[in-house]
């Protein structure tokens, strides 16, 4: 996936945004296929998919104001009202809750990657939004591998035995520290952050990535599935690929925006 991602961001910004929107589409489709749904909501779910091109369009035209309220305010209000107007109240709250959460996670949270790509250009004159996005995605993936490796080698004490048996404190701490070191090395080249700010960004990414991972694990546990789909045989579905990014993308974006965007 990182290969396809690199090609997409190397071609041009529009291709990259379409690619990122497609990842959101795959993630939302997988999510809606895994959760219990009501037959009456079938047509309405098509509207949920339409949220993706709109949300990524706000990012593409660099309209931060609309980007940040579209899903959490407008869609949050729109879908429950639409469901209410259709008149079926059985399982209403579950349907509203699962749809809203899924949109927030797969559309809103992931679209922060596109927003970072577009709005990062002015704050990062040398490497641009591409540099920031590359920093985010590569380090998040790196952090997954680092946590896995540290856990495999030294893992003893489980963080959340009921959610994920593989996550250990040794893996988490070792992984985050490795990510911090890696971020401190590459950050000054890819972003306007110096070595200390880069290290802090690495810590944000490492911890957020871990939280995204266990949150999706909890969802899978609840639904009773081992992996989320068959995108790549043996590697689970798209949600298994982007679970860390669902948390790391918004966390890094808002960390960077708060400290480095005028």
Is there binding between residue 86 and another protein (CB under 8 A)? no
Among the listed residues 45, 82, 177, 211, the single contact to another protein using CB under 8 A: 45
Alpha carbon of residue 155 to chain centroid? 26
Is there binding between residue 65 and another protein (CB under 8 A)? no
Least separation in angstroms between residue 38's CB and another protein is 6
What character string, x for contact with another protein (CB under 8 A) and - otherwise, covers 170-209?
Answer: ----------------------------------------
Residue 108 Cα distances to 51, 100, 128, 221, angstroms: 9, 10, 22, 23
Cα-Cα-Cα-Cα dihedral sign, residues 113, 164, 199, 146? negative
Beta bridge partners of 160: 164
Choose between 91 and 128: whose C-beta lies nearer to another protein.
Answer: 91
Is there binding between residue 93 and another protein (CB under 8 A)? no
Q: Which residue has the tokens 């404190």?
A: 169
**DSSP string covering 154-211:** H--SEEETTTEEEEEHHHHHHHHHHHHHHHHHHHHHHSS--HHHHHHHHHHHHHHHHH
Is there binding between residue 8 and another protein (CB under 8 A)? no
What is the separation, in whole angstroms, between the first and last Cα of the chain? 33
Is there binding between residue 156 and another protein (CB under 8 A)? no
Q: Which residue has the tokens 């690619």?
A: 19
Number of residues that bind another protein (CB under 8 A): 25
Stretch that binds another protein, among 100-108, 137-145, 194-202, 219-227 (CB under 8 A): 219-227
Is there binding between residue 240 and another protein (CB under 8 A)? no
Choose between 24 and 198: whose C-beta lies nearer to another protein.
Answer: 24
Is there binding between residue 225 and another protein (CB under 8 A)? yes
Among the listed residues 1, 18, 35, 203, the single contact to another protein using CB under 8 A: 35
d(CA 135, CA 202): 9
Is there binding between residue 254 and another protein (CB under 8 A)? no
33 sits in which H/E element: helix 13-34
Residue numbers at the binding site for another protein (CB under 8 A): 25-26, 29-30, 32-39, 42-43, 45-46, 49, 91, 223-225, 229-231, 237
């Amino acid at each position: 996936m990182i290969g396809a991602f690199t090609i997409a961001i190397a071609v041009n910004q529009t291709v990259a945004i379409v690619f990122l929107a497609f990842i959101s589409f795959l993630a939302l489709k997988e999510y809606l296929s895994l959760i219990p749904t009501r037959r009456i909501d079938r047509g309405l779910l098509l509207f949920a998919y339409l949220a993706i091109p709109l949300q990524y369009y706000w990012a593409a035209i660099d309209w931060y104001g609309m980007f940040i309220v579209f899903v959490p305010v407008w869609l949050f209000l729109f879908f429950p009202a639409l469901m209410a107007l259709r008149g079926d109240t059985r399982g209403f709250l579950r349907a509203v809750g699962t749809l809203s959460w899924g949109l927030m996670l797969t559309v809103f949270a992931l679209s922060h990657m596109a927003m970072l790509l577009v709005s990062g250009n002015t704050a990062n004159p040398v490497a641009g939004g591409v540099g920031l996005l590359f920093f985010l995605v590569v380090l998040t993936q790196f952090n997954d591998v680092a946590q896995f490796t540290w856990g495999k080698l030294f893992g003893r004490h489980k963080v959340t035995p009921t959610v994920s048996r593989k996550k250990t404190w040794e893996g988490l701490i070792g992984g985050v520290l490795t990510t911090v070191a890696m971020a401190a090395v590459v950050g000054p080249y890819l972003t306007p952050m110096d070595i200390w700010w880069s290290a802090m960004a690495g810590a944000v990414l490492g911890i957020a990535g871990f939280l995204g991972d266990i949150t999706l694990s909890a969802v899978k546990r609840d639904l009773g599935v081992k992996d989320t789909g068959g995108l790549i045989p043996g590697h689970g579905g798209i949600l298994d690929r982007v679970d860390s990014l669902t948390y790391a993308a918004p966390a890094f974006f808002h960390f960077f925006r708060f400290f480095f965007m005028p």
